Amino acid sequence: MNLRHSLQLRHVDAGSCNGCEIEIGSVFGPVYDAERIGARLVASPRHADALLVTGPVTHNMASPLERTYLAMPEPRLVIALGDCARDCGVFSGGYAVAGAVADVVPVDLEIPGCPPHPDEIVSALRRFTNR
Amino acid sequence: MIVLALVAGLGVLATLTALVPRAVRVKLVAGLLGLVEIVGGATAIRVLATNHAIVGHTSSLVPFTGVRIDLTPLGALFTLTTAVVAIAATIHWVGYRRHAMSSVSLSSAFALFVTSLLLVPAAGDIVTFLVLWEVMALSSLVLVAHDHAKRDETRQAAWWYGAMTQGGAALITLGLVVLGGHAANPSFSAIAASASHLPAATRGAVFLVLLVGFGSKAGLVPAHVWLPRAHAEAPAPASALLSGAMVNLGIYGIVLARTLLGVGATWWWLVAGFFGVISALYGSLYAATSTDLKRLLAYSTSDNMGLVVIGLSASGLFAAHNAAASSLALIATLVLVTAHALYKSTLFLGAGSVQYATDERDLDRLGGLARTMPVTTAVIVVGALAVAALPPLNGFGAEWLVVQSLVHGLSGADPVTTVATAVFVAALALTGGLTIVAFVKAVGVGFLGRARSESAEHAREVPVSMRIAPAITAAACVALGVAPGLAITAISRASDAVAPNRSGLTATLSGFHLQALRSAVDPLALALGAVAAALVVAGLRRAGGPRTGAKLRVFEPWGSGRAVTSARMQYTATSFAEPLQRVFDDVLAPQHDLDVSHVLESRYYVERVAYASANDDIVERRLYRPVLALAAVLGVRARGLANGSVHRYLAYGFVVLVIALVVVS
Ligand code: SF4
């Protein structure tokens, strides 16, 4: 998919421990500054090219996650960020957990790590922005 | 003369017909009333077509002076406007009868009200005029109070309306009696002939008294307080008549004062213009912030009457130095009066249909009516476009003429007039903007989107007659908008009676031309141009939009991922007006009440939050309430005077008699 150096991201916390959020914060902070490579966080799925999902999907967040995905214009991407998003990580088997992100919406890219290092996140995003 | 007697006779007959059994009452009364309206309208058309007033005098009916009739083209214009509005209101009434409007008292009051509205402009002397004026005021008071047994608001509205209308009538009586005392007989023509011999101070004082008296009927601020109450509480056909016909007669009265007294001094019109500007701004501001549909319309009436009085004042101010602009302003004013009558009655009848179908007037509890009540929504949209003065509807032509007269009236004006005119233009511009806000809100929140309450959800389109009635006036708005030529000859004949037309205004079937001022406009062409531009934009969008074959996906509105998107997530009328309310916070001074109650154990936990905001009329709160409170206190004190002793009462009588004798001698 050709995004022409611009990737608008909508972030959904589907039940993360917030470790991943801290790394996302630093990805868009002054050190890594992912906006240089064309990635940007937006406030509504209506404006987004890609959904950035963290955490295992809890029962309460399964439906909002799906609605967010459906509310996005096509073509759309889903990035599962962190081990929890990939396979429920340390929360696997928890009573509140409905499943991994891929069980709810189709995933295009996974970023491993608990949490992933900002370097890894940036390099993953660069695969879409080509910068 | 005979036709007018016929109108009066049929009107009285219709009033008495209300005594027939309930099953046929409304149909019979409405049928007779329709006849009254058609005969009255046809008479008015004949007067306007032949340009000959109907004059007559009979010494019977009223002792001492008799009844004098003088239906000039000016009066005929008002009678004709009333007739059109009344026809629509009567048709609406036939459908509305479920709402307690079929009782004997209300049916007869309705018939009497319509008849007196048609006849007031035909009155040729003071006594006839005042009698008809009172019949009109009292019969409409009965209509306003229709639901007095059940609703406290209705009782309040009736009190306010009754007090204001009687106060106004007292002033009008005073003014006219002073004039009549100096004339050979109480006829208006005799008064007009003799008034110029009165000292300037007397004429000025009489003008002021009449301005306030008639201004209170026209809903000018600060005498407007009855309007939002009475118009909101009256049943829809009556509100349409109040706003589409009765307030016009307030304007008729001010024009009448000018015909009786002459143009007079500059300061007369500066005072009138001041009240016009205040009314226009205040009315439009409250219309933009009201959330009750009928209150909104009532404030908009106050606003429109303000604009009309601005036009009248401009006409008076320009009379000395620029006859062309002066006569144009008068014509523009009359065009605006007729336009307002048509679109406001459309809106009030439409709002009445909404109330009939949903039992709601609060915009925040309506919504989604475009789907369930398409015809009513369509007429409301036409009315809203007209009141917002958009081409090709009749409001546009009217306001264009007012602006033209103001702009051209500047040439040759003295500094005071120049400044006043600049203020008039600014008021017109600001009012125009606020009116658009008000009606975008009314249509957007009330009729589009999703239903905000059970009753709006289950609204059903109203009976046929209630759909036809506002459609008639809406059609008239469109017809006079695209083809102003239909009415402009009649209107300029009406204004000729007051000031001869020097503006060279002519109207073809599709537009206005001002030869003397080298200016022209073609509302139809403007509208067609706008439609063409919209089509071009739509075509360009299509050409530049998604490729053919792209698939269209429809998904629910974004509700932050929540499963329920409730109607409460929509924009409300209150939130739409909130920024404006904030800007005009100092003027409106809305009252907010925030009440937070905490859990007993900890102040960090909130148990309940109650928020109430009220946007009540500030003139009423700051001006009328203190006066009323004082009157109440004085009333309680005065009870001490009446202690039941007959001797004391006899002494009072004696003292008053002595004082009266001293004053008289
Ligand atoms: S992957 Fe690790 S840091 Fe990220 S949400 Fe799961 S537990 Fe937290």
Which residues lie across from B521 on neighbouring strands? Answer: B512
DSSP state at residue B262: -
Instruction: Output DSSP code: residue B623.
Output: I
Q: B563 and A67 in contact by Cβ < 8 A?
A: yes
Interface contact B554, partner A, CB < 8 A: no
Q: Is the CB of A38 under 6 A from ligand 1?
A: no
The pLDDT of residue B606 is 87
User: In this complex, is the C-beta atom of B547 within 8 Å of any C-beta atom belonging to chain A?
Assistant: no
Q: Do A74 and B563 touch (CB under 8 A)?
A: no
Rounded distance, CA B524 to CA B493, Å? Answer: 24
Poorest-pLDDT segment among B164-178, B349-363, B612-626: B612-626
B565 neighbourhood in chain A, CB within 8 Å: none
Q: A67 contacts in B (CB within 8 Å)?
A: 559, 561-563
Higher per-residue pLDDT: B587 or A18: A18
Ligand 1 atom closest to the CA of A17, numbered from 1: 8
pLDDT at B547 over 70: no
**B113-147 per-position pLDDT tens digit:** 999 999 999 998 899 999 999 999 999 999 999 88
Mean predicted confidence (pLDDT) in B613-618:
82
Say which DSSP state B460 is in. -
Confidence of residue B420 (pLDDT cuts 50, 70, 90): very high
Report the Cα–Cα distance between both ends of chain B, in Å, rounded.
45
| Cβ–Cβ < 8 Å for A102, A72 | no
Cα–Cα–Cα angle for B158, B79, B31, nearest 5°?
75
CA-nearest residue to A73 within chain B is B553
Q: How many CB atoms lie within 10 A of CB B469?
A: 31
B389 compared with B498, residue with greater pLDDT: B389
Q: Do B563 and A46 touch (CB under 8 A)?
A: no
3-state secondary structure of B138: helix
Neighbouring C-beta atoms of residue B321, cutoff 10 Å: 14
Q: How far apart are CA B509 and CA B531, in angstroms?
A: 20
Q: Does the Cβ of A19 fall within 6 Å of ligand 1?
A: yes
pLDDT for residue B265 is more than 70: yes
How far apart, in whole angstroms, are the C-alpha atoms of residue B138 and residue B127? 16
Q: How many whole angstroms from its chain centre is CA B440?
A: 20
Cross-chain Cβ contact B558/A44 below 8 Å: yes
Any CB–CB contact under 8 A between B561 and chain A? Answer: yes
The CA distance from B531 to B522, in Å, is 14
Work out the minimum CA distance from A16 to partner chain B, whole angstroms: 17
Q: At what angle do helices B573-583 and B266-289 cross, to 10 degrees?
A: 140
CA neighbours closer than 13 Å in the CB half-sphere of residue B165:
25
Closest CA to B380 of B445, B454, B434: B445
Look-up of token digits 């959330």: B291
Report the candidate in B256, B319, B254 with the shortest Cα–Cα distance to residue B503: B319
Question: Which residue in B488, B140, B110 sits closest to B330, CA to CA?
Answer: B488
| Nearest Cα residue to B328 out of B513, B72, B192 | B513
Question: With 90 as the cut, is the pLDDT of residue B644 above it?
Answer: no
- Residues B400-406 have a mean pLDDT of 90
Q: Which residue of B has its CA nearest to A70?
A: B555
CA distance B69 to B121: 9
pLDDT one-digit tens code per residue, A13-54: 999 999 999 999 999 999 999 999 999 999 999 999 999 999
Cα→Cα distances A26→A7, A20, A34, A114, B621, Å: 17, 10, 9, 15, 57
CA distances to B224, B274, B282, B307 from B618, in Å: 12, 18, 10, 21
Residues pairing with A109 in the sheet = A79
Closest CA to B143 of B170, B90, B107: B107
What would the mean pLDDT of B72-81 be, rounded to a whole number?
94
| B488 vs B63, residue with greater confidence | B488
Token pair in block for residue B549 = 């074959």
Ligand 1 atom 6, closest CA: A84
Substitution target from A58, A67, A68 for chain B, most B beta carbons within 10 A: A67
Domain ranges of chain A: 7-129
The average pLDDT across B348-360 equals 92
Cβ-contact B575, A62 below 8 angstroms = no
Token pair in block for residue B142 = 């009965």
Confidence band of B99 (pLDDT split at 50, 70, 90): low
User: CA–CA separation, B210 vs B227, rounded Å?
Assistant: 19
- Determine if the peptide bond prior to B228 is cis (ω within 30°): no
At B553, list the tokens: 């996906």
The predicted pLDDT at position B100 comes to 64
Q: Which fold has domain A7-129?
A: Rossmann fold (3.40.50)
Q: Where are the strands (E) in B211-320, listed by range?
A: none
CB B79 within 8 A of CB B39: no
Contact residues for B488 (Cβ-Cβ < 8 A; gap 6+): B331, B335, B505, B506, B507, B512
Strand ranges inside B357-489, DSSP E: none
Under DSSP, is residue B223 helix (H, G, I), strand (E, B) or coil?
A: coil
Contact A65 B553 (CB under 8 A): no
pLDDT of residue A79: 96
Q: Given an 8 Å threshold on Cβ–Cβ distance, is A68 in contact with B561?
A: yes
Binning pLDDT at 50, 70 and 90, where does residue B97 land?
Answer: low
DSSP string, B190-205: HHHHHHTTS-HHHHHH
A83 close to ligand 1 (CB < 6 Angstrom): yes
- Please report which confidence band the pLDDT of residue A121 belongs to, taking 50, 70 and 90 as the band edges: very high
Q: Which of A51-55, B523-527, B589-593 has the highest mean pLDDT?
A: A51-55
Chain A neighbors of B563, CB-CB under 8 A: 63, 67
- B546 interfaces chain A, CB cutoff of 8 Å: no
CB-ligand 1 contact for A99 (6 Å cutoff): no
Give the separation between CA B626 and CA B632, rounded to whole angstroms: 10
Pairing mode, strands B54-58 and A97-99: unpaired
- What digits encode the pLDDT tens for the residues B497-514? 787 777 777 776 667 777
- The confidence score (pLDDT) of residue B449 equals 87
Tokens representing residue B48 in the block = 């306007």
* SS3 at position A81: strand
Query: Which residue spans within B409-533 are E strands per DSSP?
Result: 505-507, 512-514, 519-521
What does the alpha-carbon distance between residue A24 and residue B555 come to, in Å, rounded to a whole number? 29
Interface residue A63 vs chain B (CB under 8 A): yes
Q: What 8-state DSSP symbol labels residue B68?
A: E
Give the pLDDT confidence score for residue A82 in this predicted structure.
95
B561 and A67 within 8 Å at the Cβ level: the answer is yes
B214-258: pLDDT as tens digits = 999 999 988 999 999 999 889 889 999 999 999 999 999 999 999
pLDDT-derived band at B516 (thresholds 50, 70, 90) equals: low
Instruction: Give the tens place of pLDDT for each residue, B435-456.
Output: 999 999 999 999 998 888 888 8
Residue B614: strand pairing partners = B591
Least confident stretch, B326-330, B578-582, B615-619: B615-619
Lowest-pLDDT range of A107-121, B436-450, B573-587: B573-587
Quote the minimal CA–CA distance from A9 to chain B in Å.
16
Cβ contact, residue pair B561, A44, below 8 Å: no
Q: Which of B288-297, B327-336, B524-533, B545-554 has the lowest mean pLDDT?
A: B545-554
* Percent share of chain B, pLDDT over 70: 97
Q: Ligand 1: does its nearest atom lie under 6 Å from the Cβ of A112?
A: no
Q: State the pLDDT confidence band at B528, using cuts at 50, 70 and 90.
A: confident
Question: To the nearest whole number, what is the mean pLDDT of chain B?
Answer: 89
Confidence of residue B67 (pLDDT cuts 50, 70, 90): confident
* Residue A70 Cβ < 6 Å to ligand 1: no
